[in-house]
Chain A
Amino acid sequence: MRNSSLLILSALGGLFLLQAQNKQLLYDFQEIPQSLMLNPGMQTPYDWHAGIPFLSGFSFQAGTSGISVNDIFANDGLDINDKVRQRAINGLSIRDEISGVYQIEVLYGGFRGRNNPENYFSFGIYNEGVGINYWPSDLAVLAFDGNAGQLNRRFDLSHLKTRGELLNVFHFGWNRNWSRDLTVGARAKIYSGILNFHSSTNDGYFVTTPGVNNILASTLVSNMQLRTSGLQSIKDVLDDDSIDNTSGISSIFTKRGFFGGDLGMGLDLGFTYQISSSTYVMGSLLDLGLMYHSGDIRNFTLEGGATIEGVELILPDALEDPNADFWQDLVDQIEAFIPFEENTNNYVTFRPTKFYGAIRHNFGEDGPSGEWCDCNYLTNSKDSNLTYKNSVGGQIYAINRPRGPQVAVTAFYQRRFGNALALRGSYTVDKFTYTNIGLAASFQAGPVNFYLMADNLLGYQNLAASHYASFQFGINIISWHVN
C-alpha cells in the first residue's frame, strides 16, 4: 500500500515537473510539419509528409515560477529551513506554479488532395501529459506554522488548485488554401483519457477566533473536491501483488488510451493571411473541447461548515446520560456538519484552450521570384513561400489556466539556407522568465527532415537555477510540393 501510494505520487509528481505548453519556436516553422499542429491554417508547402512513428515529434517542457531547484537545494551552507521559509513560504504567491506538459507523437502524416490540391489533410495520434499545481500559499503557511498566534486569520482553502491528466489524442486536420492570400484550417480531435485528477474549484476557509464560551473557536467552512478518473484501477494494480505492476499498468494505459476510458472531443482552428507580398498574419485556437470522465471515477468532497470550541460540559445537562461520550459526540458532530465523502459521479473537464497570434515578415529573396502575384494556391508552395532568406516576426500566446490566462510574447528571427537548413532564434517573455532565448534548427537531407529546438538557453548556465527549459525534436519524411 505504502509503495503503491508512493508510486502514484511519483507519477503525479512527474507530471508536475513538466511545464507550460508554449511552442513558440515551432509555430509557423513551415519547414517542419509539426507546426501544422499549432496552426491548422498554416501555409503547407508539402505534397505529403510522414512522421517516423514515435520519433516524429517529442516535446518536453519543464519549469517553475517564483522558485527554482537552486533556491532550495544549492549547496550554499544555508539552512534549508531558512531557505524554504524565505523563498517558498514567504516568497511565493498563489499565482506561482509548477506545471508542464510532454507530448509524444505516436503517428503523424499528411497528404495533399489529388483532385483538390488546395486541400491538405493531416492525421495522427499523440500522447500528452499535462499537469499544473499552483502554490497553495495559505495551506503551506498552515502546514509550516500552524494556526497558533494567527487569531482571526482566514486560511483560504481556494488556494489549493491542481489538475493533471494523461491522454491520447486522435486527430484529423483539414487545411485549405482558400485564396492567394488566405489559408484556413481546422482539426478535429478525439480525446481518449487515461487518467485525470482535478481539484481547482475549491472554496472556504479555516479560522481561529476568540471563543464565545471557551478560549478559542475553530471554524472550518469548506467546499472542496478532488475528482479523479483512472487512478483507482492503477492503485488496484499496485496493491495487487499477484499482478506485475509494469504489465498491469501498461494494460490499463493501452485500454484507456484507445477509447476504453474517458472520451472527449475538441477542435483546432487557424488561419494565415497574407497582408502584403512578404508579410503574413496568422492565428490559431487549439483544443476548444471538453472531456467527459465516466470510467473508473473516484471523487472526494469535503463540504460544509462547523465551529467548535472543544468538548463542552454544561451542567446539569451533561449528567443526563451517564454513558455519554462527549469526545465522540464532538467528532460525530463535526463529521455531520462537514462530511468527507466519496462518490463515483461522472464529470466534465474543459481542455486548456490555447491561442496563438503571430505576424511574420519575409525579406531577402533567395531563388525564384517571390513577388506578390495575383496567382492561385499553386504558387503558395515551397517555391514561393520558402524562398526568402530571412523572416522576422512576433507572436503572442495565451493558455487558459485555473487562475486565468497565461500569456507569453515572442519575437523571432529565422534564416533559411537553401533547402537544407533553416534556423530560428527567439526571445520570449512570460511569467517564468524574462530572458528566454531559444534556438531551433530544421535540417533537410533529401526527403528526410530532422528538427531540434531548445528553449531558455541562458538557463543552461546554471540549470538548477533555471525556471524554465524545453526541448523538442523529431524526424519526418517530406515530399515538397513543387509546381
Chain B
Amino acid sequence: MKIFSKIFLSVLLALNLMACSDEQDFNQIDDLNIIPTAEASLLFVEIPEEFINESGVPDFYTQTFNFGAFEEQFFAENVLDGVISYEVENTTSKPLDVTIEFLDAGGNVLDTERFTIDEAPTAVLLREITYGTPTGRDINIITSTSAIRLTGVNLGDNTSVSGIPEPVVLLRSSAMFRIRLK
C-alpha cells in the first residue's frame, strides 16, 4: 500500500511540478491585424429629363448637402484606404456633365470628380477612384469630407425628349474601405 500511494503521490506531484509547455510568445498579439473591408452604397441621384428641360438653363442642378459618413470619428480615425465606385447612366436625349465635389467643414473643395456622358443611347460610364494607396489619392480627402456638392450641366438643348421610356440621368456610387480595428 505504501509503495502504491507513494507512486501515486509521486506521479501527481511530478505532473504538477514537471508540467511543461511549448514556449509561448504572447507579444505576438501586437502583430495581429484586424482589418476588415467594409462595402456599402454611398450616393444615389436620379434626375428626370423633364426636370432638366424645365430648368431652362444649362446649369440645371447644383446642391450641397451634409455628408457625415466619412467624418464619423471611428471611421475617420481607422480607415486605411479604399475605393469609391461610380456608375453614371444617361437615358436622356442630351449630353451632360455631372460633377461631384467633396467639401471639408469650411466649404473648401477637397476633391472633384467630373463625368461627361453622351446622350442616349450610350453606355453606362464606370469609374473607380482609389484613396489611400501609393498610387491613389490622399486618404485625408475622405476623412476630411463633411459635405458633398453635386452639379449637373446640360450640354445639349432644353426641348428634346428621349425616345426611351422615363428618361433620366442616374448616378450610382458605392464605397469600399479597409478599416483597422486592431
Chain A positions near chain B (C-beta within 8 angstroms): 69-70, 72-76, 79-81, 84, 142-149, 208, 211, 213-218, 308-316, 318-319, 324-328, 331, 415, 417-418, 421, 423, 439, 441, 452, 454, 457, 460-465
Contacts and interface: CB of A to CB of B under 8 A. Distances in A.
B97 to A, nearest CB: 16
Given A310-B173, A457-B15, A70 B21 contact: yes
B44 A310 contact: yes
Nearest to B54: A316
Given A310-B42, A465-B22, 10 more contacts: A75-B22, A80-B28, A143-B181, A215-B87, A309-B44, A310-B174, A311-B65, A313-B43, A313-B45, A462-B22
B47 interface: yes
6 contacts: A73-B24, A73-B25, A75-B24, A213-B172, A314-B45, A441-B12
B107 interface: no
Contact of A417 (B1, B24, B38): B1
B166 to A, nearest CB: 12
A208 B39 contact: yes
Nearest to B14: A460
A97 B7 CA distance: 36
Contacts of A143: 34, 36, 181
Interface string B8-22: 110110011011111
Nearest to B147: A327
B108 interface: no
Contact of A81 (B9, B31, B37, B66): B31
Contacts of A72: 28
Interface in B56-72: 61, 63, 65-69
A147 B38 contact: yes
A155 to B, nearest CB: 11
Contacts of B9: 441
A325 B65 contact: yes
Contact of B68 (A70, A145, A328): A328
A423 B6 CA distance: 12
Interface string B60-98: 010101111100000000000000010100000000000
Contacts of B40: 147, 208, 216, 218, 308, 310
B66 A326 contact: yes
Contacts of B24: 69-70, 73-75, 464
Interface of B: 1, 4-5, 8-9, 11-12, 15-16, 18-26, 28-29, 31-34, 36-48, 51, 61, 63, 65-69, 85, 87, 150, 172-174, 176, 178-179, 181
Given A315-B48, A464-B22, A310 B43 contact: yes
Given A80-B28, A214-B44, A310-B40, A325 B150 contact: no
A31 to B, nearest CB: 14
B14 to A, nearest CB: 9
A contacts with B: majority SS: mixed
B26 A439 contact: no
A374 B169 CA distance: 98
A146 B39 contact: yes
Nearest to B152: A315
Contacts of A462: 20-22
Contacts of A147: 36-40
B79 to A, nearest CB: 12
A146 B63 contact: no
A325 B64 CA distance: 10
Lowest 4 A-B CB distances belong to which pairs? A146-B36, A310-B41, A148-B37, A460-B19
Given A146-B39, A313-B46, A215 B66 contact: no
A144 B25 CA distance: 22
B159 to A, nearest CB: 19
Given A73-B26, A315-B48, A454-B12, A308 B41 contact: yes
Residue from A80, A417, A439 whose CB has the most chain B CB atoms within 10 Å: A80
A314 to B, nearest CB: 5
Contacts of A74: 22-25
Contacts of B29: 73, 80
Residue from B39, B41, B179 whose CB has the most chain A CB atoms within 10 Å: B41
B11 A309 contact: no
B41 A73 contact: no
A415 to B, nearest CB: 8
A310 to B, nearest CB: 4
Contacts of A327: 65-69
A331 B71 CA distance: 14
Nearest to A318: B63
Given A148-B176, A215-B87, A417 B42 contact: no
B174 A216 contact: yes
